[in-house]
Amino acid sequence: MKRKESDHAVGRGLRYSTVPESEYEKYAIRHETDTLIYALGGLGEVGKNMYCYEHNDEIVIVDCGVLFPDAELMGVDYVIPDFTYLQKNQAKIKALIITHGHEDHIGSIPFLLQYVHLKEIYAPRFAKALIEKKLEEHRLSRSVKIIEINSDSRVTTNYFNIGFFNTVHSIPDSLGVLINTPNGRIIETGDFRFDLTPIGTNSDYQKMAYMGQVGITLLMSDSTNSQVPGFSISEKKVASAILEQIRKTPGRLLVSTFASNVLRLNQILEAAVACDRKVAVFGRSMENVVEIGRKLGIVKIPDSSFISGNEMNTLPANKICIVCTGSQGEPMAALSRIANGTHKFLKIIPGDTVLFSSNPIPGNGVSVSAVVNQLTRVGANVVVNSPLTSFHTTGHAPQEEQKLMLNLVKPKYFMPMHGEYKMLVTHASTAQETGVKKDNCFICSNGDIIVMRDEECFIANERIEVDSIYVDGNDASGLSTSVIKDRQILANNGLVAVIVSIDSRYNKILCRPSIVSRGFIHIKESQTTIKEAELVVYEALKKKMQQRTTFGELKNCIRSSLEPFLFQKTNRNPIVIPVILNQKVAMEELQQKSSK
C-alpha cells in the first residue's frame, strides 16, 4: 500500500537525531567511505522484510519477504517491496542472506529474480528447502545457486564480513546476523524469542554475550511483540498441553496450526501417535512442510502412522487425528472448507473436537471467529488457546525477552525493525530502559538511510524512494498496482458509463449522451443530476466536434468535462468510462478507407 505523505511526516517527526545542530552540514554530506543501512520493507508493517547494507560498490541484502494483504486490498495476492533501487544498482549486489523460512522473509524471492540476477542466496537448512520448493513452482530452479549456512558459517566480501548465531523462533534453523563493516558492527536479530527449554536448537547466549563484550555499534531488533509484557511460555509446555488434550479427547480430533511451525507440527504428530491415533494431513502448505520436514529428519513419525483421506472411514473416530491449515480463518484453507462442508474428504461429525494451536494474527480476529462459529454450528467442540490452556506460544520476543537481547548485545545505537509504527516506538522506549540513549534510537520508515561513519550513526538528509508493489497472480511488473487502485475507486466511488452516438462522416452527435451509473448514485433519486451531467457532456462534445478530432480526444473530452461536475455535485470521483457508438454507415466507410 502506498504510504501517505502525512504518515511519513509523522515518522520523521519522532525520529531521534544523533547530530548536533552545529555539525549538521558536516554530517549531511555522504562520503564514499560511509556504510549505509536502509529497509525496502519491514518498517511500519509486519511483513515484507528486506534490509540492505551498502558500502561503496557493494550491497548485502538480508531477507526478501512478502506482506499478505488485508481485506481492503481486493484481489491482491501479495504485497512485495519495490526493487527499483536494487535493479539500478544490480552490479553492487554481492549476497542475499536469509534468516529463516517464513513467507514474510522469503516470499518475494521469485519476484526479485524477475528483476535482479543473483549469483547466490545464503539460507539456513530448512529455509533452503522451502526456497527450492518455491523456485521449482515458479520454474526458477536454475536461476540461482542456494548455499546452506548455519551458525558457524561465514560470508565475506571486500567490505563485509558476515557471521551468524542461532536464535529460537517458530520455525527450525532460525539465525541472527552479525555484519562487520569498515565503520562498525551491526547485529540484525531476524525474528527471535528466548526459550529456556526449547524444542530443537537453543539460542546462542554465549555468542551474543561475546559480541556484546566486543562491542556492537548498531542493533536492529524484531519489534513484533514490543507491546506484549513479560516472557513467553516454553514450547515444551505447549507440547505437554497438546498431548494432554489429545489423550482426553474421546472422538475424532482436528488440530489447526501454522504450517511453517514444523517443530510444533512434529510435537502434534508425535503426541497423536503416542495416543494410538493415525494422522491425516490436509492443506497444500501443510503437506509441503511435512514432506520437507520428513526429508530433513525433523518430522520423525513412521510412514505407517499416516493415512489418506480415503482411509479415514475405515478407522474408529478415536483413532484419528487430522492436522490441517486454516488457523487464521483463511477462506480457502482446509479448515474453512471443512467447516463449510465443501472439503473433498472431510465433513464435521457432531462430537468432533477442533483444537486451534495458534492465536489470531492482528487483523484476522474476525475471520477466525467466523470459522469458530461455523464449526460450532455444525456440531464441533472447539478448543482455542488461552492462558489456562497453553496450546500456543509466540515466535516473537515480548518485552522482557527484548530487554534480554538488548542487555546481552549492549548496542551503542538501536533501530527497531519488523513492526508497525507503534511497535517500533514502544521498542525504542524499551531500549532506553536498558540504557540506550534516546538520541541513539532511530525510528525509521522504509527508504530512510542510516549512515554509519567511524562507529557513529546518524540519519541521512536524503532517502531512497520506495513503494509497495501489489501482485495479482504472479505478475510483479507493477501493472497490477494500477488495477488494484481502480478496484479501490470502484469500491469507494463506483462507476459511470457515458454512451454517445455519433456520425463520424459529418462530425456530428446524433443524440444527447446517455449516462448509466453503478455503485455511484441511485438513478431514480438523482434524475436531475444525471440530466445536468448529460447536458454538460453534450455541450462539451458539440464544442469539440466543431473541428476535426479523434475517438481518443472525444473520450478525454467526456472525462475532463464530466469528472469535475460529478465531484462538485457529490464530492466523489467515480471511474468514468466513455462508450462512443459510431453510425453503421460511417463505420463501413472507415473500414473501407483503412483497407485501401
- Return the residue matching grid coordinates 538488548: 406
**CB–CB of 106/260 below 8 Å?**
no
Quote the pLDDT of residue 510: 87
Rounded mean pLDDT of the chain? Answer: 88
Report the distance separating Cα 29 and Cα 16, nearest Å: 19
Torsion angle defined by CA atoms of residues 452, 217, 41 and 263, in that order, rounded to the nearest 10 degrees: 160
**CB–CB of 4/10 below 8 Å?**
no
With a cut of 60, say whether residue 28 has pLDDT above it. no
Could you give the 3-state DSSP secondary structure of residue 5? helix
How many residues are there in the chain? 596
Exposure string over 401-431, b if 16+ CB within 10 A, otherwise e: bbebbbebbbbbbbbbbbbbbebbbbbbebb
Specify the higher pLDDT residue, 38 or 260.
38
Tens-digit pLDDT profile for residues 528-544:
888 899 999 999 998 88
Tens-digit pLDDT profile for residues 540-569:
998 888 888 888 889 999 999 999 998 888
Quote the pLDDT of residue 380: 92
C-alpha distances (whole Å) from 382 to each of 136, 288, 512 are 37, 26, 62
430 closest CA partner among 397, 395, 456: 397
Tens-digit pLDDT profile for residues 77-100:
788 999 999 999 999 999 999 999
C-alpha distances (whole Å) from 167 to each of 122, 202, 401 are 17, 7, 12
Tens-digit pLDDT profile for residues 361-407:
766 788 899 999 999 999 999 999 888 888 999 999 999 999 999 99
Report the distance separating Cα 592 and Cα 175, nearest Å: 70
**CB–CB of 580/537 below 8 Å?**
no
Q: What are the sequence ranges of the domains in the chain?
A: 5-230+395-480, 235-383, 494-595
User: Looking at residues 125-150, what average pLDDT do you find?
Assistant: 94
Instruction: Give domain 494-595's CATH number out of 3.10.580.10, 3.40.50.300, 3.10.20.580, 3.20.20.70.
Output: 3.10.20.580
16 closest CA partner among 494, 441, 469, 530: 441
Identity (one letter) of the amino acid at 261?
Answer: N
What is the number of alpha carbons within 13 Å of residue 73 lying toward its C-beta?
18
**CB–CB of 328/262 below 8 Å?**
no
Could you give the 3-state DSSP secondary structure of residue 535? helix
Rounded to 5°, angle at Cα 368 from 365 and 371: 150
* Phi, psi (deg, nearest 5) at residue 310: -70, -25
Quote the pLDDT of residue 74: 63
Quote the pLDDT of residue 526: 80
Q: Which three cell numbers stand for residue 46?
A: 509486519
- Known catalytic residue at 105: no
Q: Does domain 235-383 have CATH number 3.40.50.10710?
A: yes
Rounded to 5°, angle at Cα 198 from 97 and 365: 75
With a cut of 90, say whether residue 118 has pLDDT above it. yes
The secondary structure of 254-296 as a DSSP string is EEE--TT-HHHHHHHHHHHHHTT-EEEEESHHHHHHHHHHHHT
With a cut of 70, say whether residue 144 has pLDDT above it. yes
**CB–CB of 258/358 below 8 Å?**
yes
Q: Which three cell numbers stand for residue 312?
A: 479415514
**Which is the catalytic residue, given 104, 191, 204, 222?**
222
With a cut of 50, say whether residue 5 has pLDDT above it. no
Least confident residue range of 303-312, 373-382, 586-595: 586-595
Least confident residue range of 311-320, 391-400, 518-527, 533-542: 518-527
Report the distance separating Cα 259 and Cα 133, nearest Å: 15
Q: How confident is the model at residue 593 (pLDDT cuts 50, 70, 90)?
A: low
| All residues at 6 or more sequence positions from 325 whose CB lies less than 8 Å from its CB, including other chains | 256, 259, 282, 283, 284, 285, 286, 333, 334, 335
Measured in Å, how far apart are the chain's first and last C-alpha atoms? 50
Beta-strand pair 448-453/411-417: unpaired
**CB–CB of 36/159 below 8 Å?**
no
With a cut of 80, say whether residue 288 has pLDDT above it. yes
* Phi, psi (deg, nearest 5) at residue 362: -50, 130
What is the number of alpha carbons within 13 Å of residue 461 lying toward its C-beta?
8
As assigned by CATH, the class of the 5-230+395-480 domain is alpha beta
Q: Which three cell numbers stand for residue 506?
A: 459529418
Inter-helix orientation angle 125-137/284-295, to 10°: 130
User: Looking at residues 442-448, what average pLDDT do you find?
Assistant: 95
Question: How would you list the strands of the sheet with 253-256, edge to edge?
Answer: 278-282, 320-324, 253-256, 353-356, 381-383
Tens-digit pLDDT profile for residues 462-508:
899 898 888 876 565 555 566 667 777 777 888 889 999 988 888 88
Inter-helix orientation angle 235-248/262-274, to 10°: 30
H/E stretch holding 409 reads: helix 399-409
- Known catalytic residue at 448: no
Tens-digit pLDDT profile for residues 342-355:
998 889 999 899 99
Quote the pLDDT of residue 366: 86
Quote the pLDDT of residue 113: 94
Exposure string over 510-525, b if 16+ CB within 10 A, otherwise e: eeebebebeebbeeee
Give the ranges where 502-583 is alpha helix by DSSP (H).
Answer: 527-544, 551-570
Q: What is the pTM of this model?
A: 0.80
Q: How confident is the model at residue 522 (pLDDT cuts 50, 70, 90)?
A: confident
Q: How confident is the model at residue 573 (pLDDT cuts 50, 70, 90)?
A: confident
Instruction: Express as a percent the part of the chain with pLDDT over 90.
Output: 62
What is the number of alpha carbons within 13 Å of residue 181 lying toward its C-beta?
30
**Which is the catalytic residue, given 55, 105, 392, 396?**
396
